[in-house]
Amino acid sequence: MTSEQGLTLLRLARAGVHAAVGGPEVRIPREDWLQAPGASFVTLMREGALRGCIGTLEAWRPLAEDVVENARACALRDPRFEPLTAEEYESVDIEVSLLSSSEPLLFADEEELYERLRPGVDGVILSAGPRRATFLPQVWEQLPDPMEFMAQLQRKAGLQDLPLRACTVRRYTVRKWREADFAAAGTKS
């Protein structure tokens, strides 16, 4: 993926958020790469604080549609926040993360799991039965210690009472683009 393609994804996410708060419906370009299946997360930041983050872990619909729908959901349906208002729309900074396919992370014990994790690189999916949660690689910025990272992920998934060896752990990587980075470089989204 190029920077120009990242900028296109950011524009689609911005249009999806705008549509969610009453703006025009999104027109999706017909470029082949946007029609290929893709898994994305859209993150909204406002005044340096998280304002919403929603995404998909598996590629099952066209990438452009995935980004737009995750942007809408992020603006309106992140259960941690009230729906974004039209007044807040202009003040949010948007980030789009494009996920790789996930792969199982096999480990004999928790010590080996902590050693195999790559802080700042790995996004992690933790699951057991119907419960599942993920942390994007960006979460390592707030939780750089693998033990604490996994403990917080267990809490998020509601699996804090289950030993990690009883859970399935998968990892993935992301390519990410943030509006603020393009703005700093003088490119408008």
The domain of 155 spans: 103-172
- pLDDT for 189: 54
- pLDDT for 183: 79
* 45, 78: one domain: yes
- pLDDT for 116: 97
**Number of domains forming the structure of the chain:** 2
Q: Round to whole Å and give the CA distance between 138 and 68.
A: 21
- pLDDT for 1: 83
Amino acid at 173: T
- The DSSP-derived string for 47-58 is TTEEEEEEE-SS
- pLDDT for 184: 74
Which regions in the chain score pLDDT beneath 70? 185-189
pTM equals: 0.92
- pLDDT for 109: 95
| Any domain includes 189 | no
- Per DSSP, the three-state class of 122 is coil
Beta bridge partners of 94: 44
Q: Name, in order, each residue with C-beta under 8 angstroms of 154's C-beta and a sequence gap of 6 or more.
A: 126, 160, 162, 164, 167
Question: First-to-last CA distance in the chain?
Answer: 17
- pLDDT for 123: 98
* 82, 156: one domain: no
- Indicate the burial class of 48 (C-beta count within 10 angstroms; 0-12, 13-18, 19 or more): exposed
* 179, 166: one domain: no
* 180, 89: one domain: yes
